[in-house]
Amino acid sequence: MASNLRVDQITASTTGSVSIGTATFTGGLSGDITGLNVTGVITATTLNQNLGAGSSITIGDTFIKQGAIGIGTTTTAGRNAGVGTAAGTIIYNSTNNTGEIYTPTGWQAFGDNSVFSATGGTLDTSSRSGFNIHTFTDPGTFTVSSGTKSIEVLIVGGGGGGGGHNTGGGGGAGALIFKSNYPVSPGDYTVTRGGGGAGGAPGGNNGSKGANSVFGDLTAEGGGFGGKGVTASPNASPGGPGGSGGGGGGDDTAGPYPGGTGNAASGGTGGSASPDSGFGNPGGAGNVPAEAGGGGGAGGAGVLGSTSGNGGPGLAYSINGTSVTRAGGGGGGANSGAGTGGPGGGGDGAAGNPAPPAGAGTALTGSGGGGAGGFGTPHPGGAGGSGIVIIAYPTA
């Protein structure tokens, strides 16, 4: 047989049959087949032991042989430019020195514990260039499956509810914790998103304290409740303590009723790292006649009830790529000229008779609810806003 036999020279075979195009080889093939240029799809219904131990199928730098499969290598740039994104696609990325598999949430590394990989919450890969962002709006678990990294973490406790009846104090904001270099390693980190406290009932009740938010060993305390307003003078009450304190209730003849203490650290500025207790401030005192104090915020204290007991301001952070202010205190209620909620989501206090509903703290900001206002007909306080936990880290 000639050493350079072309396919079109084969006319018959004594050991089987040969077909071209739609035909099938029948019988055994031995030796090496080289120089074959296949542009279509090869479909094998049976590939058994007749493909010998020393045999292999090679396509570019990818091969299949007994005991091994080689998937070749590419770089991150090559992957992004030329590799398909069908779920289940596997590559070896020489940029990261790790295997990667494409999943419905994007490329995930495997096989190298030096590569950081984590799951949990809602993952956002686009809002902040070069960062993965995990947002927890419900309880959950942040799971690090491989690698170690220093992450950014923002934790805000639930806001306190505003005081009820008439001229209730504004609720305090939940403590705000921000760490710019929090170390994590493989394991599970418990996440709790604190709910906002309920507003005080119109029958003369304080608001409710906000619930704590937790990430690992860090706890952001919920905001203090707003004190109830006057029912029959002297019968108002002070604001409650918390991450930031609630405002004191207003009274017609007695007072002042002090605002609650802030258990987190005062003096925070937007974007700065916090102590473990977070940032928070005291609530403002209720005053005479019937002017309630504003709840404290992460960035400043609540204001004394006078013509307006405004809530303390929150603090701004851009952990998710956009500057967002959170943890404002609720405004105090009043007969007239009620306090406004602090910047960052604090609910407005109410005033007048009949008074409008007191404003609720904005959800997922940990802000305090506004205090009930008016005189005569009792009113409920505004609910505190729920807290939040956000984690961010570089993808590289």
Which domain covers residue 392, as residue numbers? 116-396
Residue 88 lies in a domain: no
**What residues pair up with 393 in beta bridges, in sequence order?**
132
3-state secondary structure of 8: helix
By CB atoms closer than 10 A (0-12, 13-18, 19+), residue 47 is exposed
Q: What pLDDT, on the 0 to 100 scale, is given for residue 1?
A: 40
What is the count of structural domains for the chain?
1
Residue 364 lies in a domain: yes
Q: What pLDDT, on the 0 to 100 scale, is given for residue 51?
A: 52
Q: What pLDDT, on the 0 to 100 scale, is given for residue 182?
A: 97
Residue 210 lies in a domain: yes
Q: What pLDDT, on the 0 to 100 scale, is given for residue 253?
A: 79
Residues of the chain with pLDDT under 50: 1-7, 9-14, 20, 23, 28-29, 45-49
Q: What pLDDT, on the 0 to 100 scale, is given for residue 96?
A: 63
Whole-angstrom distance, CA of residue 81 vs CA of residue 23: 37
3-state secondary structure of 294: coil
DSSP secondary structure letters along 126-179: SSSTTEEEEEESSSEEEEEEE--EEEEEEEEPPPPPPP-BSSPPPPPPPPEEEE
Q: What is the pTM of this model?
A: 0.74
| Eight-class DSSP state of 34 | -
Q: Are the beta carbons of 395 and 132 closer than 8 angstroms? A: yes
CA angle at 289 for the pair 335 and 345, rounded to the nearest 5°: 50
Residue 265 lies in a domain: yes
Residue 239 lies in a domain: yes
Question: Which H or E run contains 77?
Answer: helix 76-82
**What residues pair up with 155 in beta bridges, in sequence order?**
177, 389
